[in-house]
Amino acid sequence: MRSALIDWLAQEEDRLVFYAGWGALRDLSDIAFRKQLLSDDRANVRLAALLGLLERHEMSLEEVLTLAEKDPDPRIQQWSMTWAMNPRSPRKMPNSTTRIVLEQSVSVDDLMKRANEARSSKMRYLYLTMLSRATYEEDDEWRDIQNFYKGLSQDDERALVLTPLARETDAMPLLWDALGRNEKLGRSAVNGLLSLAKRAQSSPEQVGGFLLAKLQESSGQHQQDRAIETLSRLPFSSAWSPPDLEKIDIPKVAAKVVELDVASAKQTVAFAGGLNAGAKIYLDRGYRFTDVPEHLKGATYLMTRNEDAGSLGDDLAKFTTLYAMDVFIAHDDRIRSADKPKWLGRFTRTDTKLNTDDAGFTLFQERFKKGDTFVIGGNSTDGSDDDKSNYTVIFRPVLTDPQPESAAAAGVLPALDQAEGWDGILSRIFETCEDVQTQTRILDILLGLDAKDLGQSDLVKRVLARASKQPDSRLFGRLLQLNSQLGVEVAMTPLEPATIDAVLALTERADADRGRELFFGSKTAAACLICHRIQGQGQNLGPDLSGIGLRSDLKTIIQSIVEPSAVITEGYRLQVIETDVSTVFGAVLQETDSVILLVTQQGTLERIQVGSIKSRQTLDQSSMPATFSVILGNEQIADLAAFLLTCRHPSGESTN
């Protein structure tokens, strides 16, 4: 029976059947017989005997290595070396059973000898891999490995042998040299330094001090980049800040423009000055800026780690502005709009691009006043760093008085002299701009100002009057806000009301990113987040739109914006409540015997005492205003609808 089983195994090709066969051979044969089969002429028979022996640890490591060296079958070589590199302790057996003693390891000297005598490059590589996992107790063995390492000529082989060396602080000069070699050896050196910093006889500060001292000497670009990466990843007891930024390729910041709340920081970052082509973007990689917009050149920016490209969360660091400023987030274009992180929704997508030698980035912008706080979060929504790079943050102070010269030079209007006053500044800006994007930018500047007397300026009124002559939806909402904010009255050219057919005709070129900005931007004409919520972001005053892309097609979404009363969601019909002192229009959010909580068409909450109500009427009309067709126009409604169509997850799931 056993002979028939062996003959059958010699020709069996099915993996599952072969598995059952070698298990049966193991149960029917003793150890000595199966070891004899390792010399059989038939490769399948040898493999069947080997698998049974390895499963129960019935061979010593020496026997396994000898078999791997002499057997010509690649499957037997692979199984032997895989087991040899990952030996497991033999299972304890009853005292009445013969114990098989497994040799757990081969000496360091023996591994190096076998590697030098290996008859193939594959076998040599396997022995070096085993050496990379070897343990040693004597200093002499460490020095033997060091000498062996120095005798290697190939960086890929050195990358393996460097690992056991990186258990002693004496290896730091070797690790420093390896930082400047090829990618594999350089990576091994970074990992070796990080591993060394965790060992009992060393510390992050010791490794960090060594690297900082080396960086002040002459060093190659690869060494600098990888040393900075290592420094950014070392688990220091407090936040690390390089003492001499210029010498390690992080330009000093000429003037501090924001304050980082160190206690809130959950990632390693560093401020750098002089944003320009050729400047490094990350602390831990050598990628550099290649194309920087003119108005951002020289600005202060935040260096992050590209290792954090897969980071998650909405509050990884908090900042306080020291001046009024624009903050830009340069976010990887490879990350789709639907996959952008939630926190980025506070920033408005622009048409401006920034490039590095690794990726292209779109700039998202937000204006902050002096003393404002803002947070930045993770780069991703899936936790993966595949096919994406981390963002960077750029700070550009705006010209409000007072500003330090260095901040003004990096500011939004570098060509202007503050001494001219706002009349002169606005005159010089507005007279030179013709396109709507630039005009929108100017209106955003005005919206961000905190000058109480600005609305008294005749020039401001002329600026607004000129902008108001153009019936462009991108300007209209900002002009409405400015009229109210600055207390000026400027007649505006009304927009043609949007229609469903006109919006549908524009959907092929609609931009979901711009639509996202319209929804979440607090300064946009839409500002949908005042009443609506998507994935927990926004207010819960109107219907939750998290899954609107699942339950509505594009035309229905457009109709709900252009003609909100055509189909009214239950509970959101407009109610008119007259009290002793006023008449309020809105939708009832909550009602008790004594109080009614009403959300108005402006997105505000009104608490009405039931006893004060004189009359109450429910209209066949949506509580959502019908004015968006005029305020937004066809193009912006197409963008907004394109974004809403991407919202295809229930409110409990994340799309961002």
CATH number at residue 655: 1.10.760.10
Within-domain flag for 367: yes
Residue 568's CB: how many other CB atoms inside 10 A?
18
Q: Does residue 359 sit in the same domain as residue 428?
A: no
Q: Which residue has the tokens 């959907």?
A: 507
115 located within any domain? no
Place of tokens 């895989």: 82
Tokens 């009992």 map to which residue?
200
Residue 212 covered by a domain: no
Question: Does residue 37 sit within a domain?
Answer: no
C-alpha dihedral sign at 212, 213, 218, 222: negative
What is the domain extent for residue 504?
498-549+631-656
Cα gap 180→184, rounded to integer Å: 11
CA distance 535 to 516: 13
pLDDT, residue 491, reads 53
| pLDDT at residue number 443 | 60
Distance of CA 519 to the CA centre of its chain: 22
- Please state, in angstroms and as integers, the Cα–Cα distance from residue 417 to each residue in 175, 423, 440, following that order: 52, 12, 22
Supply the pLDDT for residue 598. 83
Whether residues 399 and 424 fall in one domain: no
Distance CA 273, CA 146 (A): 41
Same domain, 605 and 641: no
285 and 388 assigned to the same domain:
yes
Three-state SS at 598 = strand
Whether residue 652 sits in one domain with residue 522: yes
| Domain presence at residue 459 | yes
Q: Please report which helix (H) or strand (E) contains residue 192, including its range.
A: helix 183-197
Q: Which residue has the tokens 């500044």?
A: 425
CATH value at residue 576 = 2.30.30.520
DSSP string, 221-263: HHHHHHHHHHHHHS--SS----S-GGGGT-PPPSS--EEE-GG
Q: What is the DSSP string of 115-152?
A: HHH-SSHHHHHHHHHHHHT----SHHHHHHHHHHHHH-
Tell me the C-alpha distance between 530 and 208, whole Å. 48
What is the pTM assigned to this prediction?
0.35
Nearest CA-CA partner of 268 in 230, 296, 300: 230
371 and 439 part of one domain: no
Residue 34's pLDDT is what?
92
In a shared domain, residues 422 and 387: no
What is the pLDDT, as a whole number, of residue 405?
34
Handedness of CA 207, 213, 215, 218 (dihedral sign): negative
Number of Cβ within 10 Å of residue 39's Cβ equals 12
Q: Judge whether 306 and 313 are in contact, CB under 8 Å.
A: no
**374 and 506 assigned to the same domain:** no
- pLDDT at residue 621 in the model: 79
Compute how many other C-beta atoms are within 10 angstroms of the C-beta atom of residue 210: 19
Domain end call among 403, 429, 452:
403
How many beta carbons lie within 10 A of that of residue 201, not counting itself? 9
Query: What confidence score (pLDDT) does residue 32 get?
Result: 92
Q: Which of 344, 373, 403 is the last residue of a domain?
A: 403
- 556 inside domain: no
Tokens of 378: 């993770």
Say how far apart CA 179 and CA 193 lie, in whole Å. 10
**What total number of domains does the chain contain?**
4
| Residue 398 is assigned to a structural domain of this protein | yes
DSSP secondary structure letters along 193-214 = HHHHHTSTT--HHHHHHHHHHH
Core vs surface per residue 257-270: b (16+ CB within 10 A) or e: bbebeeeeeebbbb
For tokens 């004189």, name the residue. Answer: 614
Cite the DSSP H helix spans in 12-55.
15-28, 31-37, 43-55
- The reported pLDDT for the residue numbered 413 is 35
What are all long-range contacts of 459-466, with beta carbons under 8 Å and residues at least 24 apart?
459/422, 459/423, 459/426, 459/427, 460/422, 460/426, 460/486, 460/488, 461/488, 461/490, 463/426, 463/430, 464/488, 464/490, 465/490, 465/491, 466/430
Q: Residue 197 pairs with which residues in a beta bridge?
A: none
Contact present, 629 and 498 (Cβ < 8 Å): yes
Residue 351, judged by CB atoms within 10 A of its CB (0-12, 13-18, 19+), counts as exposed
346 with 301, same domain: the answer is yes
> Is position 61 within any domain?
no
Half-sphere exposure of 634 (CA within 13 A, CB side): 15
Residues facing residue 328 across a β-bridge: 365, 394
Same domain? 324 vs 446: no
10-residue stretch averages of pLDDT, the chain, 656 residues long: 86 81 87 92 91 85 80 79 60 34 55 82 79 72 89 89 86 89 89 81 74 68 76 62 44 61 76 81 85 82 87 88 86 91 91 91 90 91 89 77 34 36 49 54 57 53 58 57 57 69 89 82 64 75 81 88 81 82 82 84 78 86 74 84 82 41
Same domain, 461 and 588: no
- 506 shares its domain with 524: yes
Number of Cβ within 10 Å of residue 315's Cβ equals 12
